[in-house]
Structure 1
Amino acid sequence: MRLKIKRSNEQRLITLPDGATVSDLLNEIGSASINIKVGFPPQTIDISDTSKLLTDSGIKNGEMIIVTDTIETEVPVNKNEVAIATVSNQNDAPYVQIDDIFLVLRKIPDDNSCFFNSVGYCIFGPDSIKYPDSQQELRQAVANVIRENNQGIYNSAILGGKSITEYSQWIQSSNSWGGAIEAQILAEYLDISIWTVDIESLQVYKFNDEMASRFCVIMYSGIHYDAMALKLDTSLDEEDSQICVFDKFSELGTLIEDNVLKLTNHLKNQGYYTNTSTFILQCQICLATLQGEKEANSHAKKTGHTNFGEVN
C-alpha cells in the first residue's frame, strides 16, 4: 500500500503492508496528536481504534493522507480588549490583536492562482501553496462541476460569455483567476462556507453558509486574494499554532465573525486594496496597457490573453 503524506512541513510517499493498521500508519507518521483526512473533499478518519485495518477505515492504496497537528481551540478571550497594529517581520503580516490571540493576514503569492491557493492554504495548510497539484485539484473540481452542470445552473451568461466546455477548460489553466463562481462550487464541494471579504467595500460574502457548519476566510483586495488565520501565539512570522477553519457555532467562530472587519478596516486604512475601475494593467503577453477591469475583460475576450500585471 502506497500513501502520500501531506503535512504543513512535509510531503512524502510511504509504503505500508497491504494489511496495515491505523497503528502502522501512526508509527510511520511519528505522532499521535494528529487529525487525519483523506479523499476529496477531505473527510476525517477515526484513528481511535489503532488496531483497525486501514482499508476498513476508508483508506485505500494511493490515497493522499492530509495530516494536521491537534491544537487546543477553546481559547479564553476577552472580546472587549481589541487593539490594532502592524508588525514588522519577515512576512510583514498585518494583524488584529484580541487579548492574547491574533487575526493575521497570510499573504499568498501573486501568480494568478491566488484564489485557489488561499482556499488551499486554509483547508490543506500553509505548505499547500508550494505544490501546484493542490490548486490544480481545486481547479479540476470546479471544472468537473461546471462540465456536469447537473442542476442546469451554468450557461454562457453566467460564465461570462464562455460555453460550459470553454469555461471548464479555461478554469483549469494556471493563468485563470477564480472568483464567485469558484467560491460557491468549492464551498459546496468541500462542505464548508467560504467567506470572501472585500477590503475596499468592507463587505463579507458568505458562500454555502446556510449548509455548512465550518467556515474559512479569504481577503479580497480587488485583484488579489489572501488567507486569514487565527494565531495562538505572538510568533506571527511562524505558521504553526494557527487555525484557518472555524466552527460557526464555537466561541472562536463567534470571535472571528465579530472581529474580521476590524482586520479589514485596518487593511483598508493601509491602502491594501485596488480600485478595479481605475487601476492600470499591462497584458503580460502582448504588453498592451489597459485601464480598469472593464478594459482588461474586453482585451481578454478579443485576444484570449488572461495574464495581467498591475502597473505601479
Structure 2
Amino acid sequence: MIFRVRLPSNTQKIEIEDSLPLNEFLFLLENLSEIPRDQIEIKAGFPPTTLELSNSDKTCLKDVQGLKSGETLIIQKKSEAEKMQAFSKDPVKFVQESKHFDTTSMEQKYQDLPKYYIQTKTGYLIMREILDDNSCLFRSITIREVILANPTEYNSAVLGMPVQEYCDWIMKPTTWGGAIELKILSSWFKIEICSIDIKTQVVYRFGQELYKTRAIVLYNGIHYNVISFNPRLEDSDISNDESIFSVEQDEMYNGAVKIAKKIKE
C-alpha cells in the first residue's frame, strides 16, 4: 500500500504491506510525527473523514475501513482535531475564547485568510491565487509535445495557425493559455477540467464524462486561479491543499460555482 502522509511538520510518501498490523503502523506514525500513538488521529478520503481504529492486536491495515492505497492520510493529535472542529464552526469565537488570546496575532491571522472561500462540512473550499506570470514552462512543454504527437487531431484549423508556428508561440513566456490548452491538458493528464468564467458564470468542461477525477479553475478574463480544499482556513501552505476531486463530489463543484458568484458580486 502506498500513502501520502501529511504530518504536522512535513509530507512524506510511504510504501508498506497491507498485512502490516495496525499497531505497528501507529508506531511508525508515532516516529514520523512525534505524536504519541494513543493520541494519533488519522483522516483519509475526500472530504477527509476520521478513520475508526481498532484496539485489537489482530487488526491489519487491510482491515481498516476507509483506508485505501493511494490515499492522502492526514495525521494530527486528537486534541488538535477537536480544536479544528471548533474553529470550523465559528473561527472568530474560537480565537476570542482562546486562553492565549492575542489581538495582534488574531488580526494578523485574519489578514492572511483567503479572500474568497466557502465552508463545507469538513473544511473550506478556497480560491487560491496563482502567480500571474502569463505562462508555465512545464505546461507549455507538455502542450507542445502533445500537439506534435497528434498532428491530425491538433491541426492548423484547430489551432488557428500552422502547427509549428503554434508550437513556437506556446513556448514564449508572454503566451496566454485558453480553451485549446485546457483541452490538451485534460487529455494529457486524464482529468476533467472545469473552467468557470467569473464574468459570464458559464462553466466550460473539458474531458467531461471521460475521467474519474476533476480539477476546477476560475477564469477572470485574463488569468486562471485554482479551487482547492483545506481542512483549515488559516493554513496558507498550499502543499496541504487538495485540488483534485472525484467527479462524484458535487459539493466541490457546486461550491466552486458559489465562489465564482461571490467574486462577481
Whether these two folds match at TM > 0.5 is yes
Native 8 Å contact 1:71 1:241 kept in 2: no
1:195, CA displacement in angstroms? 1.0
By percentage of residues, which structure has more helix? Answer: 2
Report the Cα offset of residue 259 of structure 1. Answer: 2.0
In structure 2, the residue matched to 1:137 is 138
**Partner residue in 2 for 1:213:** 212
**Equivalent residue for 1:235?**
234
Alignment of 1:213-292 (within 5 A): 213-249=212-248, 253-269=249-265
CA shift in 2, pair 1:206/1:106, >3 Å: same
Give the conservation status (yes or no) of the 8 Å contact 2:48–2:122: no
1:114-140 deviation per Cα after TM superposition (whole angstroms, max 9, x unaligned): xxxxxxxxxxxxxxxxxxxxx322211
TM-score, structure 2 as length reference: 0.59
The answer to whether the Cα contact below 8 Å between 1:197 and 1:203 also exists between their aligned partners in 2 is yes
* 1:186 Cα offset (Å): 0.9
Task: For residue 118 of structure 2, give the secondary structure of its aligned residue in structure 1.
Answer: strand
Shift of 1:71: 5.6
Q: Aligned-residue CA RMSD in angstroms?
A: 3.3
Cα deviation, residue 232, structure 1: 0.8
Q: Counterpart of 1:213 in structure 2: which amino acid?
A: K
Identity of aligned residues (%): 27
Deviations 1:12-41 (A, max 9, x none): xxxxxxxxxx9xxx9xxxx997448xxxxx
Aligned length: 179
Q: Is residue 157 from structure 1 mapped to residue 157 from structure 2 by the alignment?
A: yes
Please list every run of 5 or more consecutive structure 1 residues that lacks an aligned counterpart in the other structure.
1-21, 37-46, 51-69, 77-81, 114-134, 270-312
Q: Which runs of 4+ in 1 moved over 3 A?
A: 31-36
How far apart are the structure 2 equivalents of 1:184 and 1:228?
Answer: 18
Q: Provide the TM-score with structure 1 as the length reference.
A: 0.51
Give the Cα separation in 2 of the matches to 1:247 and 1:149: 28
1:159-188 Cα shifts (integer Å, max 9, x gaps): 23x200010111112211111111111111
1:260 to 1:166, Cα distance in 2 relative to 1, 3 A: same
**Residue in structure 1 matched with residue 16 of structure 2 by the alignment:** 48
Alignment of 1:65-84 (within 5 A): 72=44, 73-75=46-48
| Matching residue of 1:104 | 126
Q: Is the 8 A contact 1:93 1:237 kept in 2?
A: no
- 1:224: Cα distance to partner? 0.7
Q: Which runs of 5+ in 2 are unaligned?
A: 19-41, 50-88, 91-108
